[in-house]
Amino acid sequence: MEILVVGLSHNTAPIELRERLNVPEQDLPKPLEMMGESTDLVERMLVATCNRVEVYAVAEGPIEGAVEGITDCLATYRNVPKTDFLDKLYTYTAGEAVRHVFRVASSLDSMVVGEPQILGQVKTAYSIAQAREATGIILNNLLEQAFHVAKRVRSETGIASSAVSVSSAAVELARKIFGDLTGRSVLILGAGEMAELALRHLLDDGVRSVLVANRSYDRAVALARQFYGRAVTFESFRQEMVGADIVISATSAPHVILKKEDMQAIIQQRRHRPIFLIDIAHPRDIDPGCNEVDNVYLYNIDNLKSVVESNLKERKREAERAEVIIDREVGVYLTWLRSLDVVPTIVSLRQRVEQIRGTELQKVLGRMGDLTPEQREAITAMSHAMVNKILHQPMTELKRRAALQDGHLYTSVLRRLFGLEEKEK
Amino acid sequence: MAIDQFFFYLALLGYLLGTLHYLLHIASRRLSIGRAATYATLAGFGAHTLSHIFRIYALRRPPLGSLYESLSFFAWAIVLIYLITEFRYGNRVIGAFVLPMVVLAGSAAAALPRRIAELGPTLQGVGLWIHVALAIFGNAAFALTFCTGLMYLLQERQLKSRHPGKMHFRLPSLELLDDVGVKSLLFGFPLLTLALITGSIWAEYTRGSFLPLYGRETWSILSWLIYAGLLYARLSAGWRGRKAAILAIIGFCLVLFTLIGVSLLRGGRVL
């Protein structure tokens, strides 16, 4: 019985190969069935995203055979020659496999460390496998534990707390200035992909009123309609800045359109309410001197990029702390896994029952007063016989089941029924 | 050890644990540590309240007569106002700034003589106690204004520098800090004003001089003027943010000097 991870990811394989091996979500059950029929994997699930194709499994027989079965299935199912990806595969077993699953679920193995999608993808893959009864006690426990670890990593480290794209960095800065963005207003000068992306992020965060100014009023109207906003004339943008909280500037003007003096006048009219200027135009739209005005926060595209860079570094530092958490959790899981072996279970069950027999026997002998050695012998023998008779059936059954695939279920239940877990702690 | 003293030390221990956990909470971001910080502070506050009750019972007067007593009461009022803020805003980062100050005030109090001073007949009367309590509560509110002002300056620097670092992620938003700053100012200012009025009336009544032009009173009026200016600038001229934060910090330094510095200059007498 061995936990096994076989797969390839962005760390080992190029995107073309990952695409060829990828399995769409709705098709996941098929390869799971194939593996169930052609391999001796007692439990299995398949995680397939654009960044990874991985099989988590519990193998009955030798590892080599299981790995070969998995690769055969993948190759046949996706019709990709094995030789194309064999050297890109990695195989983890036991503790290393557990660690890998924990790291994947916690987004430590992701291309962008801390990205939130992977956890959902693993959860979906798991529920699909579970629905097909392809998983059992070991994978169920492994995945539940992995979700718990992912949650811990998320809440106890900052790997996901800082933005790693320019537009989400802008939103995050806005939140540090305004707190809740609900009901805030944003003014867009010009247009462009980046500006729209930033706007979309802001709208997701609760920004309600959108104003659009463009040298071409028609384009302003079109863009405003797209975001349920209001178009204003380009000439009036300075007046509109009095009411707006966030300004995204992306015009194609060849020179600065907002000078420091303009900004000083505007902030006076705003009664010093803070304003966040995002200048993503090239060349720049906003005089850098505006940042010196009190309550004005000006970020241009280079500033945002350097924020993203330092956030990425911060994530890497936080990832190291996450690895410590994972180390500890792998230890906890392996201890549980080992306890499922039949032999230690039988031993501790015997010990538990023997201990009860011993104490009860002493009590009874103490209360009975003077007995002949023969009488004592007979009572002791009876206690032994009872214990052995009672234990005989469960022990035999346990040993027989251990060889079958649901053996771990029996040991796990037995340990719980007799309270053998607590005794070990 | 008197029973009030025992509970006072217990409170100090609670605040110390609270401080440690608030700081650890910022560093580790663990919610469980943040909760522990709140519980420790709440426990400290409970013990502190008991300490006051026992002291009132022993003295048969409010515990506001000596520098030890007023410092201890000051620390207690800061914790009360802080805890209300924490529950209202659901933010524990401010605690990492407020609680160290509480521990400092508490420890300073612990270092002072605790004997019960005999107060002369002029230093008795309900009017005086109201005056002192109002002043201490007002100043405790300003302690919060001071802390959020400090945090505002830190966060503002981070944002202006365009290279936000670790502090940036941990500190709350400027909006929240400014909001707590203005609310605590709006709470503290009327109390300080009433304290000045009751103080003047009391001075007129006992000393026959209406204008208290010496010692603590002068400093009190100076800090009142600063806070009045700050409030005026905020409400009418729309001042906010950095300038308001700096003024709040200066104002509180003056408050501290008034409360502690002047007393020490006058040999530990509060009244």
Per DSSP bridges, beta strands A185-190 and A246-250 are parallel
Nearest to A177 among B28, B30, B175 (CB): B175
Contacts of A291 in chain B (CB under 8 A): 160, 162
Q: What is the pLDDT of residue B213?
A: 46
Residues 118-147 of A with CB under 8 A from B: none
Tokens representing A305? 């990029």
If you average pLDDT over residues A45-59, what whole number do you get?
91
Q: What is the pLDDT of residue A118?
A: 92
Contacts of A307 in chain B (CB under 8 A): 162-164
Based on the residue annotation, tell me whether A290 is a catalytic residue of this protein: no
pLDDT per position as a tens digit, B70-105: 889 999 999 999 999 999 999 999 999 999 999 999
Locate the DSSP E strands across chain B: none
**Terminal C-alpha separation, chain A:** 25
My answer on whether omega of the bond before A283 falls inside 30° of 0, hence cis, is: yes
**Inter-chain residue contact A307 with B176, CB threshold 8 Å:** no
Strand partners, A24: none
Q: What single-letter DSSP state applies at residue B93?
A: T
Distance, in Å, from the CA atom of A279 to the CA atom of A247, rounded to the nearest integer, reads 8
Residues 296-355 of A with CB under 8 A from B: 297, 299, 303, 306-307, 310, 314
Tell me what the pLDDT averaged over chain B comes to. Answer: 86
Place of tokens 């405790």: B140
Contacts of A205 in chain B (CB under 8 A): none
Q: Which range has the top average pLDDT, A39-43, A160-164, A266-270, A415-419?
A: A266-270
Contacts of B35 in chain A (CB under 8 A): none
Tokens representing A263? 């900004």
Place of tokens 């005030």: B105
ipTM (interface predicted TM): 0.85
Distance, in Å, from the CA atom of A193 to the CA atom of A180, rounded to the nearest integer, reads 25
**Inter-chain residue contact A272 with B238, CB threshold 8 Å:** yes
The pTM (predicted TM-score) of the whole model is 0.74
Q: What single-letter DSSP state applies at residue B237?
A: S
- Residue A281 main-chain phi, psi, to 5 deg: -80, 155
pLDDT per position as a tens digit, A361-414: 999 888 888 888 898 899 999 999 999 998 888 888 887 776 665 677 788 888
Of A11, A19, A50, A233, the catalytic one is A50
On whether the CB atoms of residues A20 and A80 are closer than 8 A, the answer is yes
Report the percentage of chain B scoring pLDDT > 90. Answer: 53
Contacts of A162 in chain B (CB under 8 A): 169
Q: Which of B98, B215, B109, B204 is nearest to B151 (CA)?
A: B98
Tokens representing A40? 């001796």
> Which residue segments constitute the domains of chain A, with CATH numbers given?
2-156 (3.30.460.30), 166-308 (3.40.50.720), 340-424 (no CATH)
Give the distance from residue A240's alpha carbon to the nearest chain B alpha carbon, in angstroms: 19
Tell me what the pLDDT averaged over chain A comes to. Answer: 88
Q: Which of A245, A114, A237, A282 is nearest to A171 (CA)?
A: A245
What H or E segment, with its residue span, contains residue B236? Answer: helix B216-236
pLDDT of A423 strictly over 70: no
Contacts of residue A406, defined as CB under 8 A and 6 or more positions apart, other chains included, come to: A136, A137
Q: Does the beta carbon of A182 lie under 8 angstroms from any beta carbon of chain B?
A: no
A318: nearest CA partner in chain B: B28
Nearest to B174 among A156, A177, A272 (CB): A177
On whether the CB atoms of residues B227 and B219 are closer than 8 A, the answer is no
